[in-house]
Structure 1
Amino acid sequence: MNTTNRVKLSIMMFLEFFIWGSWFVTLGTFLDKNLSASGSETAAVFSTQSWGAIVAPFIIGLIADRFFNAEKILGVLHLLGAALMYQMYNAADISVFYPYVLGYMILYMPTLALVNSVSFNQMKDPEKEFSPIRIWGTIGWIAAGLIISYVFVWDSAEALSEGLLKNTFLMAGIASLALGLFSFTLPKTPPKVAAGEKVKVGDILGLDALKLLKDKNFAIFFISAILICIPLAFYYQNAHPFLSNIGVEGPTGKMAIGQISEALFLLLIPFFFKKYGFKKTILVGMLAWSVRYLLFAYGNAGELSFMILIGIALHGICYDFFFVSGQIYTNSKAGERYKSAAQGLITLATYGVGMLIGFEVAGWITDTYKGANGAADWKMVWLIPSGIALVVFLLFALTFNDNKKIEDEVIGH
């Protein structure tokens, strides 16, 4: 790949995740402080991510892969997204805000696949070339959090009381506009499917990979992946409001520790696979969810603030050791014929179905454990998902018995 394209793809990745990190991390606090949303209303807003993940394969499979260049669709989606971000910035009521965020997530979620398509189309050796470009996405997400907390200070107590957190949507909208325009300068990525070639809905959704569920161990992993998304949803939905409400300074910037951790632990996965195997690696990831929520339940912004910071830093183990390991395991089980279908199915199951259930449960629990003053009982809000993660951990530990060696494949990736 020439240097110009490498720089362009790196900028694309930076902006793609800068946009997401600009508003999604602080969304729960915004809904609480600016729109006075209930737990169930907050759950409905966060669930738009899941609806976007469910719709995304259709946009990619029926439009991007058949009719238009990926970089052009990427540009159009981000330009439309910028307009919706501006509407979200102006929304003063949850009933006005919800349709815009739903429309936005339906447009944004397909772009996650599109930036990968544009990148892979320029690579001769994706296994070596993709990571140095994808890391700029993580850097973009971290940069957004640091800017919010330490440059504009929109998440401080004073700024929250003045309603300034809504400016995150303006920042995201400007970045979306920039990426929308920049996308038209990206390397050309023509449609993958030849004109006139039929595309089945089952192929788009990865339904052919359902045959893998005949394998008992894969079925156990599949169900566990859906269930572990329930406690995962609590983090996305409640972590920022929790940090803000207990008085942690610069909560958005501190949450960026999770992304730094994610990048570091990604490098350790091959070592863990080789030394401990898939089952132990994924069990560590599951147990980490339970431990981090215990730390949140009993930590505070004062003398026990170190517990909160450790809980945030555990994000790398929580995410990488379960989800990235799970993607590798799925790849090894699927074989050449079903690899793409299997990854599509596991994404649909986790970010679609699993997270959809998780956000609803998180919203219900948050509403259930609210005091007379309307403040959440954070101890219970975190103990419940900690218990759920522990149950999933035990079920997986007792029922999963796949001892197939897949370390060689992992090291190769």
Structure 2
Amino acid sequence: MKARLSVMMFLQFFIWGGWFVTLGTFLANNLGASGGQIGMAFSTQSWGAIIAPFIIGLIADRYFNAERILAVLHLLGAVLLYQLYRAPDFIGFYPYVLAYMVIYMPTLALVNSVAFRQMSDPAQEFSRIRVWGTIGWIVAGLVISFVFAWDAQQSIATGALRNTFLMSAIASLALGLYSFTLPRTAPLKPEAGSGGIKQLLGLDALGLLKDRSYLVFFIASILICIPLAFYYQNANPFLAEIGVTNPTAKMAIGQVSEVLFMLLLPLFIQRFGIKLTLLVGMLAWALRYVLFAYGDNGELVFMLFTGIALHGICYDFFFVSGQIYTDAKAPERFRSSAQGLITLATYGVGMLIGFWVAGQVTDHYAAVGGSHDWRSIWLFPAGFALLIFFCFSVAFKGRKRVAG
């Protein structure tokens, strides 16, 4: 059973990593998209995150087996990914990427539901299965760079990155068919007094915002998504433009780092407390972008690799520790709603703003001929993250320890 669930996780994130990392590079170089248009394409992830609770909470969780919904969504996803492969320009591309992310984002919750329902001790078992999703993302990058070399300068020029959508479509078809073989995961009967749009969107946890420290954390979580969006949207195009070879595979260093720092995170929180953990995560964002701003593809290439490797600290020490902090602050009956609220705020609202800002800044510093003033582009999120860091350090008065 663990092997079957691990295959599910591997394919789930192989599909996403197979096209999302190189999306900005493909749109800029092959569809002639502007920074604003690239921001629109990436923000479809946010629209998917906003709409996902309705699809899962109001439909899937109540009326259908999770594994069957997962199968249908991935089969539809295969068709949409194939349409992305065939899209001739951005106008033809955008409706399909929006439709795809609206149906893909709910599958993130569905694979978790299928996995959790088969476990006797999720706290001990889930991480060993979920890590195969990260491995799937890494393998996708290695395939793009080292097996097919689609992200090499010559290949980008000939439009080879278009094949990433075809590869992901095949993987989505495989996972769609495979999902029909997964264990039956019937919808659970709702508990008395549970359900409703308010709970599904986490709105019944809004009372947490009456706590001053949590309100400061909540606002910081939304704002730090602006630097996060710059990484997702611009890192691969940046590395490709300055001539880094196999940029997609090298960005997988970030996922390896994420796994390692995920293991260290509980020890760090226990030793230093939640406030310092969150501050370290924020500071890592500023440091990462300074490294990107002043690194190059020559003698200073180590600065670029260090910035990529900081992904584990950037993501785990703020976003994952923020989920832990939210769980500790929320009353037991509101914990699921509280997680829904912080997810909606970050991946929904925060990333939506972040991708728009990243697109505008990238366009502002675009040069004639398609090149960019990358130093200025990266210094913007570096300064923004540093400003959030200082404001948070003064305003946040959270407890030193978070109970496990």
Shorter-chain TM-score: what band? over 0.9
Q: Which residue of 1 aligns with 2:82?
A: 86
CA shift, 1:405, in A, is 2.5
* Residue 275 of structure 1 pairs with residue 271 of structure 2: yes
Q: Which residue of 2 aligns with 1:107?
A: 103
* Residue 138 of structure 1 pairs with residue 148 of structure 2: no
* Residue 369 of structure 1 pairs with residue 365 of structure 2: yes
- The partner residue of 1:378 within 360, 374, 377 is 374
* Residue 308 of structure 1 pairs with residue 324 of structure 2: no
CA shift, 1:198, in A, is 7.7
C-alpha distance 198-271 of structure 1, shift in aligned 2 (>3 A): closer
Query: Could you give the per-residue CA deviations for residues 264-288 of structure 1, whole angstroms, max 9, x where no partner exists?
Result: 0001011111111000011000000
- Secondary structure of 1:267's counterpart equals helix
CA shift, 1:335, in A, is 2.0
2:67 touches 2:110 (CA, 8 Å); kept in 1? yes
Q: Which residue of 2 aligns with 1:298?
A: 294
How many correspondences in the alignment?
404
Q: Which stretches in structure 1 are left out of the alignment for 5+ residues?
A: none
Q: Which residue of 1 aligns with 2:284?
A: 288
2:269 touches 2:401 (CA, 8 Å); kept in 1? no
CA shift, 1:203, in A, is 1.1
Q: Which residue of 2 aligns with 1:154?
A: 150
1:48 touches 1:105 (CA, 8 Å); kept in 2? yes
Identity %: 65
* Residue 352 of structure 1 pairs with residue 339 of structure 2: no
CA shift, 1:76, in A, is 0.2
Query: Could you give the per-residue CA deviations for residues 88-117 of structure 1, whole angstroms, max 9, x where no partner exists?
Result: 000011000000000000000000000000
Q: TM-score, normalised by structure 2?
A: 0.98
Aligned equivalents of 1:339, 1:194: Cα separation in 2: 16
1:38-57 paired onto structure 2 within 5 Å: 38-57=34-53
2:272 touches 2:400 (CA, 8 Å); kept in 1? no
1:15-26 paired onto structure 2 within 5 Å: 15-26=11-22
- Secondary structure of 2:133's counterpart equals helix
CA shift, 1:194, in A, is 4.9
CA shift, 1:372, in A, is 2.9
Q: Which residue of 2 aligns with 1:230?
A: 226
1:228 touches 1:389 (CA, 8 Å); kept in 2? yes
- Secondary structure of 1:302's counterpart equals coil
CA shift, 1:371, in A, is 1.8
* Residue 193 of structure 1 pairs with residue 189 of structure 2: yes
C-alpha distance 186-197 of structure 1, shift in aligned 2 (>3 A): farther
AA matched with 2:363: D
Aligned equivalents of 1:228, 1:192: Cα separation in 2: 35
AA matched with 2:104: Y
* Residue 334 of structure 1 pairs with residue 352 of structure 2: no
Aligned equivalents of 1:372, 1:61: Cα separation in 2: 47
Aligned equivalents of 1:197, 1:180: Cα separation in 2: 34
Deviates more, 1:196-205 or 1:81-90: 196-205
Q: Which residue of 1 aligns with 2:201?
A: 205
Deviates more, 1:199-208 or 1:376-385: 199-208
Q: TM-score, normalised by structure 1?
A: 0.96
Q: Which residue of 2 aligns with 1:262?
A: 258
Q: Which residue of 1 aligns with 2:212?
A: 216
1:66 touches 1:195 (CA, 8 Å); kept in 2? no
Aligned equivalents of 2:264, 2:190: Cα separation in 1: 40
Aligned equivalents of 1:306, 1:404: Cα separation in 2: 35
- Secondary structure of 2:149's counterpart equals coil
1:21 touches 1:141 (CA, 8 Å); kept in 2? yes
- Secondary structure of 1:268's counterpart equals helix
C-alpha distance 9-348 of structure 1, shift in aligned 2 (>3 A): same
CA RMSD for the aligned pairs? 1.2
AA matched with 1:65: D
